Structure 1
């Protein structure tokens, strides 16, 4: 076989297969239309998974009885409670090995789930009830939290523990960002820079919870 024959279509196909595939556009899980970035998400409460939706399909699932309540739309609120502080002892009792974690209530299982980012993605644990109550039981953010679709996002820094109520898809976005740049046990310098930028944007967007429990 000559060198010229090696450059024919079969070889070209192998060459293309070795090249990274171009990113595919996200599509609505229900109608198949491509969706822009950013776009809306639903939580599949049976699978505990996020589902991409277009605006029209997202509106259909705003009705509480839609699909038997299986899918719930992710809200778009970002809240803080300036009057509530998590102390160092309460944070230590939660047993989180890294400086960032998020907590949400699984409605089907009737329990709280704690997750924290790492090199393999999100690691799940079931928080100790006493530790959870000590850290966040008195927080109005915890009382306002919508099951399955919102989370309390925590970050421990040198100046204390910061807590925000956020859409749950934002937490998984953060996990994905950190996974791409995580180095070593604690994430490394690049992960810390990513965290600083992420929480700076979050601080700009978050609004204080009012005395009546609304934003």
Structure 2
């Protein structure tokens, strides 16, 4: 039996293979039913193997809710979860320079993933090796929670909370996990030198421009987040 990745970093590397490995075949197929899928198709998270799987519309709908296929004989109840397509922004995120420094991130961007099995939140940032795990102290995550209500909306396994800190201000987004994986893969392919170089920075700007245009403002983004359970 093949051992499954057990640490957050190992699980992330498994999920990233789709975006950092060889290019997929010209015709991609649903990895559950083998139906042909087109560009922009949905993904599933295999929560056992911590990997992304291509999905047709029908299979994506089948696993759109936790346990949605559990009542049907022969299905893997709870194993697959459809990656949502929501993009949310919090333009009022109030993470100041001191709170950002507490995250101990050497670059100006970080994303957070929540593990559905353990509830653990892990921070990652782009680097020449792909995504680098950063130790997240409890007080640092509490500062993020105090800065934006999007932190408490982060769905386990299938979403990422993105923070970008630039010129004493933070931009905050909730995005599908495959979008975060794709960003890291694109930057890894373009990375040059110590800080990534012009091409990697251009990829980052294109990504955040796309996310900014696509994201809807969270309805409660203007509400103070302190005091939440």
The TM-score range, normalised by the shorter chain, is 0.7 to 0.9
Count, aligned residues: 193
CA distance in 2, matches of 1:197, 1:141: 22
* Cα distance, 1:167 vs structure 2: 0.7
* TM-score relative to the length of structure 1: 0.82
In structure 1, the partner of 2:38 is: 36
The 8 Å contact of residues 96 and 168 in structure 2, kept in 1 or not, is answered as: no
Deviations 1:130-165 (A, max 9, x none): 111113345210122211111111112225221101
Deviations 1:40-60 (A, max 9, x none): 011111222211111121122
Moved over 4 A (4+): none
- TM, length-normalised to structure 2: 0.78
Partner SS state of residue 132, structure 2: strand
> 1:146 is matched with which residue?
155
1:132 and 2:134 aligned: no
RMSD: 2.0
Q: Tell me the secondary structure at the aligned position of residue 156 of structure 1.
A: strand
Q: Which has the larger radius of gyration?
A: 1
Is it true that 1:55 corresponds to 2:57 in the alignment? yes
Matched, 1:197 2:206: yes
Write out aligned runs for 1:1-215 (5 A): 24=25, 25-65=27-67, 66=69, 67-211=76-220
Structure 2 gaps of 5+ residues are: 1-21, 70-75, 223-229
